[in-house]
Amino acid sequence: MSTKLHNLLFAYTMNKFSDNMEKTFYDRKKKLLSNVKGKVVEIGIGTGANLKYYDEKIEVTCIDPNPYMQKYLNKNSKKGNWKIKFIKGSSENIELPNNYTDYVVSTHVLCSVNDLEKSLLEIKRVLKKNGKFIFLEHVCANTGTKLKKVQDLINPPWKYIALGCNLNRDILSTIRKTGFKKLVFEKYNLDKGSLVKPHIQGYAIK
């Protein structure tokens, strides 16, 4: 399948099914995102499923490499009064100046970025001093568990079908290595979701 068709289908599917997916994360995301203030950069914004959690006074810079998300994002932003700016780009190369923003937000994105280390360094670079990186991501199961072995086995075909999404990424260790001054997180398993049950959420302060 061509990249264009992949991207078109992905944007359509995300928009169609995100309300359903959001039910699982509604309370968690509300807690993480409703107190965000000032400037926010959301990487991998997709169709804008997270906008509803934000206060309408904030300014959201929306970054996504898939240009077909923008149409849905614009439409969804009109359901409220959010001021958004879309940048077609990736977390590996955020086209914003150093110390630009109060918050960077990422939900279910770091599993799919091409270069996780580079993305996290970019996130840190664009944050102001004491700025917060807020994340909610699915991650690898604990080493030695049956689920981790299955994740490792299934990852190559999964990654191909799921547009670069990795089941077995140790995102938490990489955030730790990025050198934020404080890291607060929770690790948990969803009740459903089998292969993508293990999750982390929290924030890191620059």
Binding stretches for ligand SAM (CB under 6 A): 18, 43-46, 49-50, 63-66, 69, 90-92, 107-109, 112-114
Q: Work out the angle at residue 174's Cα, subtended by the Cα atoms of residues 121 and 97, and round it to the nearest 5 degrees.
A: 10
For ligand SAM, which is the closer residue by CB, 112 or 174? 112
For ligand SAM, which is the closer residue by CB, 145 or 163? 163
Q: CB 177 → ligand SAM: shortest distance, Å?
A: 19
Q: CB 161 → ligand SAM: shortest distance, Å?
A: 13
For ligand SAM, which is the closer residue by CB, 45 or 204? 45
Residues 47, 18 contacting (CB under 8 angstroms) = yes
Q: CB 146 → ligand SAM: shortest distance, Å?
A: 25
Q: Work out the angle at residue 149's Cα, subtended by the Cα atoms of residues 171 and 113, and round it to the nearest 5 degrees.
A: 30
User: What are the φ/ψ torsions at residue 112 (nearest 5 degrees)?
Assistant: -110, -10
Q: CB 54 → ligand SAM: shortest distance, Å?
A: 13
- Interior/surface letters 16-38, b for 16+ CB within 10 angstroms, e for the rest: eebeeeeeebeebbeebbeebee
For ligand SAM, which is the closer residue by CB, 74 or 112? 112
Q: CB 105 → ligand SAM: shortest distance, Å?
A: 8
Strand-pair partners of 86: 62
For ligand SAM, which is the closer residue by CB, 138 or 206? 138
The residue behind tokens 């664009």 is: 126
